[in-house]
């Protein structure tokens, strides 16, 4: 069985893979855009195309962040194992 963390979002339970659990927190739109390697303007366009409604406030709620990830997919470069492996591959002196 795969390790997951459950969140209750908009009346349903969502399972977040453990390797992406570190991403689930309140964040700004520009932080999300950086995770996907796109501009904030491109992120707004994607949100509009996928009919994802997020608040106009400065910080997005955890529920909104999860909705974005569920609709757009988990940003692969932010996978916890990949991030740690990159750090381990540096040559030792």
By the 8 A CB rule, do 25 and 68 touch? no
Domain ranges (residues) in the chain:
57-93
Burial class of residue 11, CB neighbours in 10 A (0-12, 13-18, 19+)? exposed
Average pLDDT over residues 74-85: 63
Helix (H, G, I), strand (E, B) or coil at 55: coil
Q: Shortest CA distance to 72 belongs to which of 92, 91, 44?
A: 44
pLDDT at 92 over 80: no
pLDDT at 18 over 80: yes
Q: What is the pLDDT of residues 20-55, one digit of tens each?
A: 888 899 999 999 999 999 999 999 999 999 999 888
> CA dist 93 to 83, 85, 90, Å?
21, 18, 9
């Amino acid at each position: 069985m795969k390790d997951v963390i459950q969140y209750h979002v908009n009346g349903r339970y969502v399972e977040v893979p453990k390797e992406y659990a570190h991403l689930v927190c309140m964040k700004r739109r520009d932080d999300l855009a950086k995770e996907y390697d796109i501009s904030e303007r491109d992120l707004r366009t994607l949100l509009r195309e996928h009919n994802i409604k997020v608040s106009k406030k400065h910080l997005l709620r955890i529920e909104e962040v999860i909705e974005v990830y569920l609709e757009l997919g988990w940003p692969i470069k932010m996978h916890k194992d990949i991030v740690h492996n990159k750090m381990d591959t540096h040559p030792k002196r």
